[in-house]
Chain A
């Protein structure tokens, strides 16, 4: 179960208001797309849900399955089932990709560690789906990965950690069409009644491969329009200004 309810959310960064009275409902099993011009607050919303301390909630609530998550720490939110695929994943050379993912899985299971063989089996299966070279298991986390490899690695983590609510912040940026299809395959493999997702994107092309249930348009820190998948197609033809 993963229902996200955002009520009258306002968020500031260094005293500058970025989000202004945002309202959003994502029900169990739904995939939503959030679109909008640059600098309009899409990433701010994503980071605020994850708990990035740079973003201060000045008003409103974020409820996940009825629980206000605003007071929860970042790692607590993650263990509660929230996952943020980041726009620019960082590199941490000192921990291997496999050890990192295994540690993250173990953190979610409490005291019971995921058996190594079971973990590796699952990891290799998912890497095959995402066309990731098996050698990347033992490389430093995202170390010297290309932009596309980092994005695929985010989806690999998504598939391994199996969150109930995923936020994908421009997961399609910098991907060629083949890589986009692979990433979309990974996201679609997660589709389930227990999995909800908010995809932040500039481009309609991702939505050809991961068809959303709901599309939102955000401008100037507010969600100004909500509709079905057709809304994204209309946007592609008209642009943001004419659509509103």
Chain B
């Protein structure tokens, strides 16, 4: 049965707007105003990585209503079943399916990072899905950049990844848009036994963002790191939940979320380390921090640890505040101009997450900070 037909069954009727601790949003803002029958988009990537993936038996293929394969439908349906009451997930897959699948077969190490660029040109609401599948003992680095270049007021992105035993995935996701946009972003990366998953996300969205991303450590001995870097400028508003779920013993996770708020932007971060009964010997640590640089910014961080097992390590650190005025004073006292001094402190703040991105994406982040630095500040200096 097709995805659209499944979604018309009774099980998926009357979904709700999702609720997240500490994240306040206007549900209608993220509603698609019209059904989009086609998604106008294209993808391109560095040829050396594509050639290496193909030569080693992997594939990168476009998914649409005509070409979708049964295993892809099944993966999507599995995802939908875990989010069946989520209005936005149902909304996403009720549109014409459009996206990309990357498959890396077992025992395959891809040396070249895959720089994957997705350009979306829709004038109306647009949806895009990415499916990732890594075979046992495989390894790849993917730098995914999604640019929403059309005039669409709404968009929806969903990423579904699955890693087999002992595979390693390093994924960075950068999202950019040209005109004001409300974006919903969902992602699940499932890791089997002894996997390593590092997912670094920088949603450079101008407008609104509602996101819920998770790494599921399903197999013993796996490690997941989830990094988030958000720069808010002008009147951007962002609510983002990042979770790592420990479903197996001796799993380890690190969540590191950093947000810099310029102008009148609002950012709510929620980070969840979830260790279920039976995941003994697990270790979940998280750090969520916001730097409020602009004159009238609003930010909250909500660290959550859900622990249902005794023999575990877990901890969190959280902060919301301006840069340290003593540090600013020190830099100024050496003659460094105030604008440059502020930027040094902003870069200092984001450096633990910034270093997870490659140079190309660091340039994009730097540009966002330069843009934000042109707005008013609240340090009275």
Q: Which residues of A contact B (CB under 8 A)?
A: 50-53, 73-75, 78-79, 83-84, 86, 89-90, 92-95, 100-101, 103-104, 107-108, 157, 161
| B332 & A73 in contact (Cβ 8 Å cutoff) | yes
Given contacts A103-B340, A107-B340, whether A78 and B330 have CB atoms under 8 Å apart is no
| B347 & A94 in contact (Cβ 8 Å cutoff) | yes
Question: What separation, in Å, do the CA atoms of A80 and B324 have in the docked complex?
Answer: 25
Output the least CB separation between A50 and chain B (Å).
6
| B348 & A75 in contact (Cβ 8 Å cutoff) | no
Residue of B nearest to A81 (CB): B335
Question: What separation, in Å, do the CA atoms of A121 and B338 have in the docked complex?
Answer: 28
Say whether B351 faces chain A, with CB atoms less than 8 Å apart: yes
Residue from A52, A79, A92 within 8 A of B348 (CB atoms): A92
| B334 & A161 in contact (Cβ 8 Å cutoff) | yes
Output the least CB separation between A172 and chain B (Å).
20
Q: From A52, A74, A93, name the one whose CB has the most chain B CB atoms within 10 angstroms.
A: A74
| A92 & B335 in contact (Cβ 8 Å cutoff) | no
Question: What separation, in Å, do the CA atoms of A81 and B336 have in the docked complex?
Answer: 13
Q: 1/0 contact trace for B327-344 toward A, CB 8 Å?
A: 101111111111011001
Residue of B nearest to A84 (CB): B333
Residue from A75, A95, A157 within 8 A of B332 (CB atoms): A75
A-B contact pairs, 29 of them (CB 8 A): A52-B329, A53-B380, A73-B332, A73-B381, A75-B333, A75-B335, A75-B337, A75-B338, A78-B333, A78-B334, A78-B336, A79-B335, A83-B333, A86-B330, A89-B330, A92-B331, A92-B344, A92-B345, A92-B348, A93-B348, A93-B351, A94-B348, A94-B351, A95-B347, A101-B334, A103-B344, A104-B336, A107-B340, A108-B335
Say whether B25 faces chain A, with CB atoms less than 8 Å apart: no
Residue of B nearest to A108 (CB): B335
Say whether B326 faces chain A, with CB atoms less than 8 Å apart: yes
Q: Which residues of B contact A101 (CB under 8 A)?
A: 334
- Chain B residues 64 to 121 lying within 8 A of chain A, measured CB to CB, are none
Residue of A nearest to B381 (CB): A53
| B333 & A50 in contact (Cβ 8 Å cutoff) | yes
Q: Which residues of A contact B340 (CB under 8 A)?
A: 103, 107
| A95 & B335 in contact (Cβ 8 Å cutoff) | no
- Chain B residues 287 to 327 lying within 8 A of chain A, measured CB to CB, are 324, 326-327
Q: Which residues of B contact A (CB under 8 A)?
A: 324, 326-327, 329-338, 340-341, 344-345, 347-349, 351, 380-381
Question: What separation, in Å, do the CA atoms of A108 and B334 have in the docked complex?
Answer: 9
Q: Which residues of A contact B347 (CB under 8 A)?
A: 94-95
Given contacts A52-B329, A53-B381, whether A94 and B335 have CB atoms under 8 Å apart is no
Q: Which 8 A-B pairs have the closest CB atoms?
A: A94-B348, A78-B335, A104-B334, A74-B332, A79-B335, A107-B335, A75-B332, A94-B351
Q: Which residues of B contact A93 (CB under 8 A)?
A: 348, 351
Residue of A nearest to B346 (CB): A94
Question: What separation, in Å, do the CA atoms of A165 and B351 have in the docked complex?
Answer: 34
Beyond the given A93-B351, A104-B335, please list 8 additional residue pairs across the A-B interface where CB-CB is below 8 A: A73-B332, A74-B333, A92-B345, A95-B348, A100-B331, A103-B336, A104-B336, A107-B340
Residue of A nearest to B345 (CB): A92
Question: What separation, in Å, do the CA atoms of A78 and B338 have in the docked complex?
Answer: 12
Residue of B nearest to A85 (CB): B333
Q: Which residues of B contact A95 (CB under 8 A)?
A: 344, 347-348
Residue of A nearest to B341 (CB): A75
Given contacts A93-B348, A94-B351, whether A73 and B335 have CB atoms under 8 Å apart is no
Q: From B324, B332, B335, name the one whose CB has the most chain A CB atoms within 10 angstroms.
A: B335
Q: Which residues of B contact A78 (CB under 8 A)?
A: 332-336
Output the least CB separation between B231 and chain A (Å).
15
| A92 & B330 in contact (Cβ 8 Å cutoff) | yes
Q: Which residues of A contact B326 (CB under 8 A)?
A: 90
| A94 & B329 in contact (Cβ 8 Å cutoff) | no
Q: Which residues of B contact A161 (CB under 8 A)?
A: 334-335
Question: What separation, in Å, do the CA atoms of A75 and B344 have in the docked complex?
Answer: 15
Residue of A nearest to B348 (CB): A94
Question: What separation, in Å, do the CA atoms of A156 and B331 have in the docked complex?
Answer: 15
Q: Which residues of A contact B348 (CB under 8 A)?
A: 92-95
Output the least CB separation between B106 and chain A (Å).
41
Q: Which residues of A contact B324 (CB under 8 A)?
A: 90
Output the least CB separation between A48 and chain B (Å).
13
Q: Which residues of A contact B337 (CB under 8 A)?
A: 75, 107
Residue of B nearest to A143 (CB): B348
Output the least CB separation between A74 and chain B (Å).
4
Output the least CB separation between B293 and chain A (Å).
15
Q: Which residues of B contact A157 (CB under 8 A)?
A: 334
| A92 & B327 in contact (Cβ 8 Å cutoff) | yes
Q: Which residues of A contact B330 (CB under 8 A)?
A: 86, 89-90, 92
| B332 & A100 in contact (Cβ 8 Å cutoff) | no
Output the least CB separation between B8 and chain A (Å).
53
Residue from B331, B334, B338 within 8 A of A73 (CB atoms): B338
Q: Which residues of B contact A73 (CB under 8 A)?
A: 332, 338, 381
Question: What separation, in Å, do the CA atoms of A74 and B341 have in the docked complex?
Answer: 12
Q: Which residues of B contact A107 (CB under 8 A)?
A: 334-337, 340
